[in-house]
């Protein structure tokens, strides 16, 4: 029997990661206290973390062991005219680079929290005063960020393991300057950044929240044979994304929550739970989510709308749009199985080749406010409030799906999609047009118009069988 994408990723993660992890455990561990950290929730421990990182880098890898205390970190140097990128230059905190041996950060319940009073956004590099909103704010020395990543690990060939840790960006404690026009601030500042690593990566039991940019920022090498596994992690109240995937392959997310992006005062587009967006000519392939939640984000619950991204699977996941769309899966090879969607979905990828079009298997689509964490369900800008806008989704497949609309939303607005063995119910008196090709046995209840549809199987509309079309 052929292995599934998730099984392939799991095998990659288990093999390459565990072999490296044994070496990491055997290596001499270091603590930030050994380099002068206090971990008392008051003292700024940035210099100790930077010295510890330099030590790990000099050894080519190693294990960092934290205590279950609060470490305060983050510094900026005001360098007017001295830096091409920042008027307020962020200090390194945990910055691991180029290691060939395994790297492990054992959090043991620690909290790493950004210091209050650091600048973020557009500031005059000479006077330090906040700038008005402008597209020029983030150019050259106008930019201020508290950190690039509280944890930044880049260009490593050895495995990376980060576990049992809270990473707090202290968003309310920042001094906020000007925005970058409509896109928001976009000035960096993410909890965990993993960039250009080719070794296996594992993130487990991490709470990354209240960062000005992203909770997790991931970009592996595009040709790696290893995998990134993210399990039991929560990313919430971040300014731009819960998680951004910018490139690479073989990502697996299990039992994670990407919630409440843009709900803590700062927002930058797309304000999503997860953004799958290949950039810089790179690609994204082979991504799997299982038992994950994407909900109550100021932007999309999940978006894949730009760059060369493809081949993502979602199993038993929940997507909730409270004030914006529940999903925007506009890339080829996206597959959803046993998922629940609450609120409107849009930009579902269609293709003349059915194998490339989006597929939904055994999924439920609902407008039930009881399934929303806030009681809100987003219905879009069209008066009829279709649960899905599928007018440009050729050959998108909905197989054994249940559209259960008990509120004011209506059945999908669709043309060339494929419905097979579905159940569709709407209570709203507004007319709906769930057009497409119908296979198998489908039952529809409500004010639905199937004019122009191709009935290849059996369709029962409000108790009346419809005749097959030629």
Cβ atoms 190, 148 nearer than 8 A: yes
At 216, list the tokens: 């997790």
Q: 382 phi and psi, to 5 degrees? A: -85, 140
Q: Which residues of 106-128 are buried (b: 16+ CB within 10 A; e: fewer)?
A: bbeebbbbbbeebbbbbbbbeee
Domain coverage including residue 76? 5-315
Question: Residues 103-109: what's their mean pLDDT?
Answer: 98
CA dihedral of 332, 333, 335, 341, whole degrees rounded to 10: -10
Among 82, 233, 209, residue whose Cα is nearest residue 150: 209
Q: 55 phi and psi, to 5 degrees? A: -65, -45
How many structural domains are present in the chain? 2
- Tell me the whole-structure pTM to 2 decimals: 0.92
Rounded to whole angstroms, the Cα distance separating 414 from 403 reads: 14
CATH number of the domain residue 46 falls in: 2.160.20
pLDDT band at 25; cut points 50, 70, 90: very low
Residue 331 covered by a domain: no
pLDDT in tens, 206-251: 999 999 999 999 999 988 999 999 999 999 999 999 999 999 999 9
Residue 336 covered by a domain: no
Residue 346 covered by a domain: no
Residue 349 covered by a domain: no
Strands (E), 297-379: 302-304, 308-309, 312-315, 318-320, 328-329, 334-337, 340-342, 359-361, 364-366
Cβ atoms 165, 110 nearer than 8 A: yes
Residue 330 covered by a domain: no
Q: Give pLDDT, residue 133.
A: 87
Instruction: Tell which wins on pLDDT, 135 or 174.
Output: 174
Residue 340 covered by a domain: no
Q: 298 phi and psi, to 5 degrees? A: -65, -30
- Among the three residues 265, 300, 315, which one is the final residue of a domain in this structure? 315
Rounded to whole angstroms, the Cα distance separating 19 from 268 reads: 39
DSSP 140: G
**Residue 370 neighbours by CB distance under 10 Å:** 9
DSSP 468: P
pLDDT in tens, 407-427: 999 999 999 999 999 999 999
pLDDT in tens, 366-383: 999 999 999 999 999 999
Three-state secondary-structure class, residue 25: helix
Percent of the chain at pLDDT exceeding 70: 94
Q: Give pLDDT, residue 82.
A: 66
DSSP 411: S
Instruction: Tell which wins on pLDDT, 296 or 221.
Output: 296
Residue 343 covered by a domain: no
Q: Are residues 271 and 372 in the same domain?
A: no
Q: Are residues 281 and 419 in the same domain?
A: no
Q: Are residues 261 and 364 in the same domain?
A: no
Strand partners for 81: none
Q: Are residues 405 and 300 in the same domain?
A: no
Q: Are residues 160 and 91 in the same domain?
A: yes
Q: Are residues 363 and 218 in the same domain?
A: no
Strand partners for 443: 423, 460
Residue 100 covered by a domain: yes
Q: Burial level of 458, CB count in 10 A (0-12/13-18/19+)? A: middle
Q: Are residues 9 and 138 in the same domain?
A: yes
Three-state secondary-structure class, residue 437: strand
| β 359-361/434-439 pair status | unpaired
Rounded to whole angstroms, the Cα distance separating 220 from 241 reads: 18
Q: Is the pLDDT of residue 21 over 90?
A: no
Q: Are residues 255 and 372 in the same domain?
A: no
pLDDT in tens, 318-353: 999 999 999 999 999 999 999 999 999 999 999 999
Cβ atoms 263, 295 nearer than 8 A: no
């Amino acid at each position: 029997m052929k292995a599934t994408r998730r099984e392939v990723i799991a095998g990659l993660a288990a093999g390459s990661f565990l072999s490296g992890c044994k070496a990491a455990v055997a290596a001499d561990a270091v603590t930030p206290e050994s380099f002068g950290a206090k971990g008392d929730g008051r003292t700024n421990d940035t210099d100790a973390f930077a010295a510890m990182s330099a030590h790990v880098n000099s050894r080519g890898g190693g294990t960092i062991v934290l205590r279950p205390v609060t470490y305060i970190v983050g510094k900026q140097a005001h360098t007017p005219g001295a830096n091409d990128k920042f008027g307020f230059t962020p200090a390194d905190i945990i910055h691991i680079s180029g290691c060939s041996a395994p790297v492990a950060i054992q959090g043991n319940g620690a909290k790493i929290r950004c210091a209050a009073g650091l600048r973020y956004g557009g500031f005059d590099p000479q006077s330090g005063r906040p700038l008005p909103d402008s597209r020029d704010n983030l150019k050259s020395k106008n930019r201020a960020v508290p950190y690039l990543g509280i944890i930044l690990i880049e260009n490593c060939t050895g495995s990376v393991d980060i576990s049992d840790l809270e990473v707090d960006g202290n968003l309310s404690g920042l001094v906020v300057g000007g925005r970058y026009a409509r896109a928001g601030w976009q000035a960096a500042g993410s909890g965990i950044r993993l960039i250009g690593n080719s070794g296996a990566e594992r993130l487990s039991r991490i709470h990354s929240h209240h960062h000005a940019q992203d909770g997790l920022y991931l970009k592996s090498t595009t040709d790696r044979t290893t995998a990134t596994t993210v399990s039991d992690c929560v990313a919430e109240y971040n300014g731009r994304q819960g998680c951004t995937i910018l490139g690479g392959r073989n990502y697996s997310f299990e039992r994670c929550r990407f919630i409440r992006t843009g709900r803590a005062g700062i927002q930058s587009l797309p304000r999503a739970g997860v953004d799958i967006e290949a950039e810089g000519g790179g690609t994204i392939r082979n991504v799997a989510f299982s038992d994950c939640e994407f909900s109550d984000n100021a932007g999309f619950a999940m978006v894949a709308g730009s760059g060369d991204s493809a081949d993502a699977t979602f199993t038993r996941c929940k997507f909730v749009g409270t004030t914006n769309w529940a999903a925007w899966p506009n890339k080829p090879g996206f597959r959803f199985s046993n998922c629940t969607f609450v609120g409107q979905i849009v930009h579902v990828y269609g293709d003349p080749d059915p194998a490339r079009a989006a597929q939904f298997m055994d999924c439920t689509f609902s407008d039930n406010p009881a399934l929303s964490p806030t009681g809100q369900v987003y219905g879009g800008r069209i008066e009829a409030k279709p649960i899905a806008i599928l007018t440009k989704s050729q050959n998108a497949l909905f197989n054994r799906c249940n559209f259960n609309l008990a509120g004011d939303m209506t059945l999908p607005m669709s043309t060339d999609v494929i419905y097979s063995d579905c159940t569709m119910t709407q209570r709203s008196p507004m007319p709906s047009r769930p057009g497409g090709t119908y296979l198998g046995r489908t039952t529809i209840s409500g004010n639905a118009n199937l004019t122009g549809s191709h009935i290849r199987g059996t369709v029962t509309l409000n108790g009346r069988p419809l005749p097959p079309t030629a």
